[in-house]
Structure 1
Amino acid sequence: MQSRKVRTAEDARALVTERGLTHVKIGVVDIDGIIRGKYLAREKFFSALESGIKFCDVIFGWDSNDQLYDNSTFTGWHTAFPDATARIDPATCRELPTEPGMLFFLGEFDEAAAAICPRRLLQRVIDRAAGMGFSPSVAAEFEFFMFDETPHSVREKNFRNLTNLTPGWFGYSVLRSSVEAELNRSLLQLCEEMDIPLEGLHTETGPGVLEAAIQYTDAMAAADRAVLFKTFAKVWAERQGKMVTFMAKWSNAYPGQSGHLHLSLRGTDGKPAFHQAGRPGYMSDTMRHFVGGQQALMPELLAMVASTVNSYSRLIPGFWAPTDATWGIENRTCALRVIPGSPSSQRVEYRVAAADINPYLAIAAALGSGLWGIENKIEPDAPISGNAYDIKHDTKRNLPRSLAEAADRLSNSNVARELFGDVFVDHYAMTRNWEEREFRKAITDWELARYFETI
């Protein structure tokens, strides 16, 4: 049996037995989009397929650097960090080409932890779409810089003066992609074997930067593909003595790294819901209201998309990233780009997202806000033609300028609470305020250079 044919627990058991595996690898995704996991012995895995597997719920009680939150109500020293139950989704079975014969499965949390589990949150939004008669399709694309560095060397250099894989600005370069052909082809092969099919892979403008466009699929599978791509692109690079980063902006000298999301809906009849001939941009009423909801809620939900302090270094004028909740037809200066085309290709590109997204949360925000727009028939502003940066927008379209501001907007959003639940909103806003406070503790190179001697 092929790994991607696995759909049930029985299928998973049969494949593990057929291969004679003594262990399999499983993973769950935390608030920051990091896969946390372990190897499981075969019999333990078989048991987990039926009754779940226990993880210490500190997975939701610490940050991306394994530092404990100081005011989490969900878990902490006050709860003694009990176990939380995760269930394995057999249909996520993947080959691990870096470990020949090994199988990998994703899981998600049940019981109390389900309220804040990113994968379960997205499932609730998908269920909302189904209740409205829609099936969402999503595609993610990521920009990422590659370096001729290792985890040790970047730390020895204090993350400064790093050696990029290639020099110069070579967007869409056949020269660079041909010189690095073996490297590019090995990434394409890895993604193909892991069922993360790439529709495109090319150099972007900047030294050693690539962009990978993952093929569209249903919303949950798209999120799974995106989180697996981010993790295993890092694995692939480090096994070859290289490194990649998915930071939103790693250097002031270069544009930020996008993680754009493309979304569309189909009706229960399987027909595209966004396309209507004869309309501006071929936009149906459903699509117009979807965009209206996304535009209206983007400032309130931004923390779910721009989820790190670094995210806000990217959201500045003139660097291919939006600064306001704007939209236009085929306009890359806007936060939302409507892409007109055939019924099956008509979609909206959610351009505010960067490469640092937690795919489950970002897709939940982009999709949930659009569905809310359909439910409430929210009309968007007039589409913007030309350069959105040169236009003064209504203040209600202003995006938060910091993670702390975004977290407060999310916490105070009644719509966010209606879409995602109080438990998630309270916990997530707490984690983002923690992230901002941790940043405020740091003394930056800029401060030292500016104040050390002269003040």
Structure 2
Amino acid sequence: MSDAVIERLRDQGLRLLATTFVCNAGVVRTKAVPAARLEALATNGVGMSPVMAVMAADGGITSGGGYGGPVGDMRLFPDWDAAVVIDPDTGIGWAPADQLSQELEPMSCCSRSALRRVVQAASADYQMAFELEFTVFDAEGDDPPVAHHGPAYGGVPLFSLEDLCIDIIEALDRVGIAVDQIHPEYGPGQIELSVAATTPVAAVDRYVLTRLVVRRVAQEHGLAVSYAPLTVPDAVGNGAHVHLSAWKDGKNLLGGGAGPHGLTTEGTHLVGGVVAGLPEAVGLLASGVLSYERLLPSRWAAPWATWGLENRESAVRLVQGTKTARPDSANVEVKVVDGSANPYLAAAALVALAERGMASMTALPEPVTADPAALSDAERAQRGIRRLPTDLGSALDELQFSTFFSETLSPELLGSFIAVRRYEHDTYGARPVADRIRAFRWVY
């Protein structure tokens, strides 16, 4: 299979293939291989130090989960089925990579392998799609000007950036990614882009490639892009919302049923499982030291472990879709995910929670039909409405004691992930927001 793909890539003008993986810091890491070396890459992979499992976003190295220090090796093996030429003019290409040992077994730190394992063990077939929110700046730097000042969802910023938006759509089309929509969002310089749904591993691969392509196109326009959870002080943040649906025997479990708003019996347990598991999972979904500056009440960031029909202040928003598209269009949008997360781990966490909910027949709480922040403390307590952790340290505390995620991801993977995020929290968590933005704006 790799021989045919290699020949196709070369015919399409490939000169350099970037193999990428996402580390525990949520950073896209890469080793690039010249086109002349692709056969060797297919046979032997390309080497990378296992210390990447405990490398933080700032390049600092910690230890945990059995990882740390200068000794050892792992091999990056590209998924040839996903390999593409991004730009035939320059010859740059891309492929997602699995992290394997020298014995060609998945490394415990390989988040892509972990997601694949969770999906293969699932009782349902899952579809997933990401919404990408990002900030466009006129240049890089510590305090760069944004590329538009609104109004939110306005025609003015769209037409001022129309060349960028059209070039993004065309560049993504060249690599086989269909854009559902693109538009100016609420915040200064903010754009949102949605892509079509597919299976979870492919959806995350597509999300990673989309981020790279968008940033590359922006650079060609003399602009800079950031996916960080917060990029401008006192502005709304950037999310990476995940849309999830589950299917059995060709039927959508989230539509066409007799439960609330068309949920099937299994669908009610699925949504119940995701809602119930959010407090212990949020460290995997919103993993950065800026994430909790975004997850604030009444900002449509959904910092509450609740669900509701089209409720954008609930962490889990049930999307029925129009009556002409139901029940196939029904899905849940998990709004707490942001661009600092490792998306493979975020996707694995959501599928695992959905599966646990169905297996345990987790009860679905009553839907929330208003902004939970508008309710009194007593009303929230009576209805069991829980605020998600308010800082990364608290989120990691919940995650660290999760037997479920230790077993789902492996103790080594969870341990190395927590070690990296603890380092980042301990190093940056108490710094002023503006300093944290400068430290992480161009990392994501």
What is the distance in 2 between the residues matched to 1:266 and 1:351? 21
What is the distance in 2 between the residues matched to 1:54 and 1:101? 22
SS in 1 for 2:121: helix
Q: Which residue of structure 2 aligns with residue 15 of structure 1?
A: 8
SS in 1 for 2:76: strand
What is the distance in 2 between the residues matched to 1:19 and 1:363? 32
Establish whether residue 387 from structure 1 lines up as the match of residue 371 from structure 2: yes
Contact (CA 8 Å) 1:31, 1:117: kept in 2 or not? no
Return the match for 2:164 from 161, 183, 197.
183
What is the distance in 2 between the residues matched to 1:57 and 1:297? 30
Q: Which residue of structure 2 aligns with residue 352 of structure 1?
A: 336
Shift of 1:334: 0.6
SS in 1 for 2:191: strand
% identical aligned pairs: 25
Establish whether residue 437 from structure 1 lines up as the match of residue 429 from structure 2: no
Establish whether residue 222 from structure 1 lines up as the match of residue 212 from structure 2: no
Contact (CA 8 Å) 1:200, 1:212: kept in 2 or not? yes
SS in 2 for 1:258: coil
Contact (CA 8 Å) 2:306, 2:385: kept in 1 or not? no
Shift of 1:76: 2.3
What is the distance in 1 between the residues matched to 2:98 and 2:4? 19
- Per-residue CA distance 1:360-394 (angstroms, 9 max, x = gap): 11111122111110111101211111222223434
What is the distance in 2 between the residues matched to 1:172 and 1:442? 32
Q: Which residue of structure 2 aligns with residue 5 of structure 1?
A: none
Return the match for 1:258 from 221, 229, 239.
239
- Per-residue CA distance 1:403-442 (angstroms, 9 max, x = gap): 1111121110111122222111212111111111111574
What is the distance in 2 between the residues matched to 1:302 and 1:212? 23
User: CA 1:317–1:101 in 2, change beyond 3 Å: closer, same or farther?
Assistant: same
User: CA 1:355–1:17 in 2, change beyond 3 Å: closer, same or farther?
Assistant: closer
One-letter code aligned to 1:118: S
Establish whether residue 414 from structure 1 lines up as the match of residue 403 from structure 2: yes
> Could you list the runs of 5+ residues in structure 1 that have no partner in the other structure?
1-7, 448-455
What is the distance in 2 between the residues matched to 1:107 and 1:445? 34
User: CA 1:99–1:121 in 2, change beyond 3 Å: closer, same or farther?
Assistant: farther
One-letter code aligned to 1:358: N
- Per-residue CA distance 1:181-200 (angstroms, 9 max, x = gap): 21211111111112222100
One-letter code aligned to 2:341: I
Q: Which residue of structure 2 aligns with residue 315 of structure 1?
A: 295
Q: Which residue of structure 1 aligns with residue 44 of structure 2?
A: 51
Structure 2 matches for 1:396-411, cutoff 5 A?
397-411=386-400
How many residues matched? 424
Contact (CA 8 Å) 2:179, 2:193: kept in 1 or not? yes
Contact (CA 8 Å) 2:12, 2:88: kept in 1 or not? no
User: CA 1:234–1:324 in 2, change beyond 3 Å: closer, same or farther?
Assistant: same
Return the match for 2:85 from 71, 74, 95.
95
What is the distance in 1 between the residues matched to 2:41 and 2:355? 35
TM-score, length-scaled by structure 1 = 0.87
SS in 2 for 1:237: helix
Q: Considering only aligned residues, what root-mean-square deviation do their CA atoms show, in Å?
A: 2.2
SS in 2 for 1:266: strand
Structure 2 matches for 1:12-411, cutoff 5 A?
12-19=5-12, 21=14, 23-69=16-62, 71-77=63-69, 80-97=70-87, 99-111=89-101, 114-129=107-122, 132=123, 134-150=124-140, 154=141, 159-160=142-143, 162-167=144-149, 169-267=150-248, 269-341=249-321, 342-391=326-375, 392=377, 393-394=380-381, 397-411=386-400
- Per-residue CA distance 1:131-180 (angstroms, 9 max, x = gap): x1x11100100111111113xxx1xxxx23x311122x322222321232
Contact (CA 8 Å) 1:122, 1:364: kept in 2 or not? yes
Contact (CA 8 Å) 1:9, 1:50: kept in 2 or not? no
